[in-house]
Amino acid sequence: MTSAGGPGDAPVRRSAGFLQTLKAVGWSFLGVRRRSGLEDDFQKVNPLHVMAVAVVAVLVFIVALALFVNWVVARPTG
């Protein structure tokens, strides 16, 4: 039986940049991702960065959707 996080284990090094984190969040919004890409993201991206980017992306999506709806409703019919 092995235990994770033992004294001999090396710390996980997360080396993903902002663009890779943004890309991972974008793919998760679409729901399309290869298994290899998912595993790569899991090892490289920082979970706190993913949560921060996801919250900002959700807010941007909601604002964009609200602006689009207002634009469509305000258009004159003719």
Q: What's the confidence (pLDDT) of residue 47? A: 85
pTM: 0.66
CA angle in degrees (0–180, nearest 5) for 35-57-17: 60
For the chain, give the mean pLDDT: 81
Instruction: State residue 66's pLDDT score.
Output: 97
Check whether 63 has a pLDDT greater than 90. Answer: yes
Output the pLDDT for position 75: 80
pLDDT tens digits, one per residue of 37-47? 778 877 888 88
In the predicted structure, residue 70 carries a pLDDT above the cut 80: yes
